[in-house]
Amino acid sequence: MKIGFISLGCPKNQLDTEVMLHEVMSAGYEITPEDIDADIIIINTCGFIESAKKEAIDNILDVAWLKENRDLKGIIVTGCLAERYREQIMEELPEVDALLGVGSIHNIVEAVQAVEAQIKKGRNLPVSEKYTSFEDKNTVRLGGDRVLTTPEYMAYLKIAEGCDNRCAYCAIPSIRGNFRSRPMEDLVAEAKELSDQGIKELVIIAQDITRYGKDLYGHYALHELLRKITEATDVPWIRLLYCYPDKITDELIAEIRDNPRIVKYIDLPLQHISDHMLTAMNRHGDGAMIREVLRKLRTEVPGIVIRTTFIVGFPGETEEDFNELAEFLEEARFEHAGVFTYSREEGTAAYDFPDQIDEQVKQDRMDILMRTQVRINEEQNRAKIGSVVTVLVEDYDPVNETYFGRSAADAPEIDGKVFFRWRGEARIAPGSTVPVKIREVVDYDLYGFAMAEA
């Protein structure tokens, strides 16, 4: 029985897929990378916003076509969409043979076995008899052995599950449950194992990594975890994603500043700057707090790269609110910023808010901000021409005869890349680091020549 996997959504979801991969392989099943060769396909879905839901449903329908027209025999749907829309999936997508919620990923082998048994019997089950598992998402076993699906030189480390922030626009707490930190000793052991495998970059993730430890230890303990991981491993790059401004402690800033193996990069989703909007969104803190955190980061960690995201078109956003945000974007000059239009999601506080914004107005506001950010990025990148940056090599493009990779200023799958040529005869292996002199800028990417192989 050959099993295929499709993993959608964020890196946090990807780690759940890696855990399920390990459990399925450990049970003796063969994994195939080609959907058309699979007997059963497991689709781990995202269901955070409308675009993610559409992507998940489109993938289910694509796989259903294989079931109807090729040799695919079973479909298992897991993850956020399954957790959030379990009844609708079973009623409206009869091709799905099993459904697992986010608290049930460790039951994946049981689900595969149940579907396999029905395949052998050669009959289609009514909805009421299909395999489903929706264990309490707040008590799910966190972590577990996994099969890395990232390139061999980097890995994600999910340090917590769920979220307690309760932002008015967000469905994650209802999907993923309350915030639960993983014990520090488990995380350090996993980081050491990854380090022993030779990874060069460890990316720390959770819905809110800055809340880490509050539930287990009574205080924010991310800085302590980073120090222990650094002491236990030799991973050269440790990167921080998904931090919240109200929990950026002085201890964390000092650890970022003083620990040479933590890259001077932080992902800090701010969502807005207007006090009116921050309150409506149920964000913690106000515009003054955000500006103070940014001031501290810039002052204490010279050269730090800050990535952020903003939401425009949230219910009740006035022209004054938007103009304040636009001025702030010019003022803050973030190295990386994404702008999203508000997505009205069932089950969130903001779904029933009055003064919903017209979709065209949302789109226009997003376009205005993104034009500003593109200009800022171009100005910042052009300032790098002539400088030398250290690049973590990802691969080689034989068509263009260029290598490409990322500097410490760029997170995987999110930010820009550095493309470069190398005149040496020896091929540079992925995961190597090389100094590259920047000669040109195209959009978000940098181009240059490797000075020497490191």
Residue 390 has pLDDT above 50, yes or no: yes
- The bridge status of strand 445-450 relative to strand 433-442 is antiparallel
Work out the percent of the chain whose per-residue pLDDT is above 90: 90
| pLDDT value of position 426 | 84
What pLDDT, on a 0 to 100 scale, did the predictor assign at position 217? 97
Q: Note if the pTM is more than 0.85.
A: yes
Residue 454: pLDDT above 50? no
- What ranges make up the beta strands (E) of 139-200? 154-158, 160-161, 180-181
State how far the Cα of 134 lies from the Cα of 275, in Å rounded to an integer: 39
Joined together, the tokens standing for residue 411 give 């997170």
**Structural tokens at position 158:** 């999910």
Residue 453 pLDDT greater than 60, yes or no = no
Average pLDDT for 101-125: 90
What is the structure's pLDDT at 366? 98
Q: How confident is the model at residue 48 (pLDDT cuts 50, 70, 90)?
A: confident
Average pLDDT over residues 257-282: 98
- Phi–psi pair at 140, nearest 5 degrees: -60, 140
What pLDDT is stored for residue 123 in this prediction? 66
Model confidence over 121-169: pLDDT tens digits? 876 777 778 999 998 888 767 888 999 999 999 999 999 999 999 999 9
* pLDDT tens by residue, 326-364: 999 999 999 999 999 999 999 999 999 999 999 999 999
Q: Which residue has the higher pLDDT, 208 or 135?
A: 208
- The pLDDT-based confidence of 452 (bands split at 50, 70, 90) is low
Using alpha carbons, list the distances in angstroms from residue 163 to 70, 170, 372.
41, 10, 31
Q: Which two tokens stand for residue 266?
A: 């932080």
Q: Is 131 helix (H, G, I), strand (E, B) or coil?
A: strand
Q: What residues form DSSP beta bridges with 5?
A: 42
For residue 451, the model assigns a pLDDT of 85
Q: Which of 388, 400, 401 is closest to 448 using CA atoms?
A: 388
Q: Could you read off the pLDDT of 52-104 as tens digits, one per residue?
A: 899 999 999 999 999 999 999 999 999 999 999 999 998 999 999 999 999 99
Task: Identify whether the C-beta of residue 284 lies closer than 8 Å to the C-beta of residue 291.
Answer: no
Mean pLDDT calculated for residue range 381-391? 97
Provide the mean pLDDT of the chain.
95
